[in-house]
């Protein structure tokens, strides 16, 4: 699957949460300039479906765009109809995974325990988001990869410049980057966007 291979290749998914709709295109552009190739826009964003459509249109073929914090199948379908190329969930919701796969879209459910991870994978999850990784750390990924080496894992939550290399060393195939990359701000000035671009470049350099 081309979308999944792109995520594996570029390794980093930037999570856009809490960014006002009118600034999302500028934020996406700064991330793209910094080398990020995959964006997740969370479903609690105002006018999120319109934002997904806008980013898909503006960066067609240059950025992979998906929806995050998808809690149910109805929300997943709406996001897919708006152009989402993958569906991120914080939990293992079987109906959401099945609907996502029915439409041929990449499914990335969130799990923590070994049972949740296996359930998510066997239900059809293409890549399993280990969430919240901040509570578990890189050694947890290493421990899980022991008995479950065939399941691709993506730590999300608490991944930063100091620990990201270690996550990949122990077997993560990708990483979700939240507030360590895209920070909530009062405004999005040229200086803010330049700083965002530079943070993106730092993360990209870490995983090359």
Tell me the catalytic residues. Answer: 40, 129
| Helix ranges restricted to H, 82-113 | 94-102
Residues comprising the chain, all counted: 208
Is residue 107 within 8 A of residue 92, CB to CB? The reply is: no
Contacts of 143 (CB under 8 A, 6+ apart): none
Is residue 161 within 8 A of residue 190, CB to CB? The reply is: no
> DSSP string of 31-86?
HHHTT--EEEEETTSTTHHHHHHHHHHHTTTT-EEEEES--SHHHHHHHHHTT-SE
Is residue 34 within 8 A of residue 177, CB to CB? The reply is: no
């Amino acid at each position: 699957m081309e979308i999944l291979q792109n995520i594996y290749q570029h390794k980093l998914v930037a999570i856009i949460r809490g960014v006002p709709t009118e600034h999302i295109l500028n934020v996406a552009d700064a991330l793209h300039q910094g080398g990020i190739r995959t964006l997740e826009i969370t479903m609690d964003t105002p006018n999120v479906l319109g934002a997904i459509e806008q980013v898909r249109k503006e960066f067609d073929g240059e950025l992979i765009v998906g929806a995050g914090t998808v809690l149910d199948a109805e929300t997943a379908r709406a996001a897919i109809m708006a152009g989402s190329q993958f569906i991120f969930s914080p939990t293992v919701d079987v109906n959401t995974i099945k609907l996502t796969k029915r439409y041929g879209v990449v499914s990335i459910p969130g799990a923590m325990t070994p049972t949740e991870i296996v359930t998510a994978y066997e239900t059809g999850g293409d890549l399993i988001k280990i969430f919240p990784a901040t509570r578990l750390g890189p050694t947890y990924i290493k421990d899980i990869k022991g008995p479950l080496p065939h399941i691709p894992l993506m730590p999300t939550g608490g991944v930063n410049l100091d620990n990201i290399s270690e996550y990949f060393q122990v077997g993560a195939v990708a990483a979700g980057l939240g507030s360590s990359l895209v920070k909530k701000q009062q405004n999005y000035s040229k200086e803010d966007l330049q700083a965002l671009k530079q943070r993106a470049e730092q993360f990209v350099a870490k995983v090359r």
